[in-house]
Amino acid sequence: MRLIQQTNINFVGHRRTFFIISGTVIILSILSFVLHGGFNYGVDFTGGTLLQIRFDKPVSTNAVRSAVNAIGEGSASIQQDEQGDFFIRVRAKEFGNGKEGFSHRLGKQFKASFAGNNFELLREETVGPQISKELQGKVLLAVLLGIVGILIYVTIRFDFRFGIGAVMALIHDTIITLGFVSMFNKEVTITLIAAVLTVIGYSVNDSIVVSDRVREDMRKWRKESFMSVVNTAINRVLNRTVITSITTLFVTLAFLFLGAATVKDFAFVLTIGILVGTYSSIFVVANSVVEWETRLPTKRRR
């Protein structure tokens, strides 16, 4: 079976169009980030407490809200997932009565407000402000470490230009993925950052496959123009790029629709990241190298 027959699409020729598409989505992503006033950070990064509570009998969000207000934590955010579990989150700075015994006080209040309805505290996460500050630093370090590591490896194995191409694609994918995180107002937790880093790995993986083919074909067809070699290479790996994305998407989609609450957002980021990563490996990586090559031609090619 073949999904895509032998193609000869002029990807390189239309590179400006793709640059405009990418540019627009990036601008939209940044816009969403600005309009939302930054990310919706979880307690990992803001400090504070997150409780996940399940009631035996259904309870309305308003009823939970008034119970939370009753203990003086009006700034708490309350969400309900499709299973009916409530997620109550209070940021460190927003505690009305201090974080000490928050879950205890809330438990007491719930017992009073919802008499005759049993509930269970499924999960509690409390992160102190010091820890959250450290986590921010660690995450930043991990992301930088990852990007620098990739840049070094790609530079050793390929041309520096492909290193730049791969990193451009990586930044492109990361900004757009984070843009979707912001558009859908997903909570930014450590797990979500792990997903973003995985997307970075996946994005580079895809870029490498394209770059590898360009490098190989360049040796074979020395007489062809750089542009046409790149274009043929993209067409040749197109099938692989699409199929790998499909199989990986099968898995991430399964987790997105069937996974537990904590894995859902993780799967969401991966799904978006794979889609964007696939797009960028076809339309952005090689094209940005071509663009560079056209403007600043290298004299001698290896």
State how far the Cα of 232 lies from the Cα of 126, in Å rounded to an integer. 54
In eight-state DSSP terms, residue 11 is: T
Distance CA 128, CA 132 (A): 6
For residue 119, report the phi and psi dihedrals to the nearest 5 degrees: -140, 160
Cα–Cα–Cα angle for 17, 21, 23, rounded to 5 degrees: 110
Considering the rule CB under 8 A, would residue 21 count as an interface residue with other proteins? no
Which of 75, 80, 248, 291 touches other proteins by CB under 8 A?
A: 248
Q: Is 191 in the site for other proteins (CB under 8 A)?
A: yes
Q: How far is the CB of 77 from other proteins (least distance, A)?
A: 18
Give the C-alpha separation, 5 to 230, whole Å: 19
Stretches 33-41, 90-98, 110-118, 134-142: which one binds other proteins (CB under 8 A)? 134-142
User: Which stretch in 32-40, 69-77, 224-232, 242-250 sits in contact with other proteins by CB under 8 A?
Assistant: 242-250
Q: Which of 135, 164, 171, 175 touches other proteins (CB under 8 A)?
A: 135
Least distance to other proteins, CB of residue 136, Å: 11
208 belongs to the binding site for other proteins (CB under 8 A): yes
Binding mask 113-132 for other proteins (x = CB under 8 A): -------xxxxxxxxx-xx-
Q: What part of residues 44-103 is at the interface with other proteins (CB under 8 A)?
A: 44, 52
Three-class SS state of 1: coil
Backbone φ and ψ of 9, nearest 5°: -80, 140
Rounded distance between C-alpha atoms, residue 274 and residue 69, angstroms: 41
Could you say whether residue 233 binds other proteins (CB under 8 A)?
no
C-beta of 20 vs 142, nearer to other proteins: 142
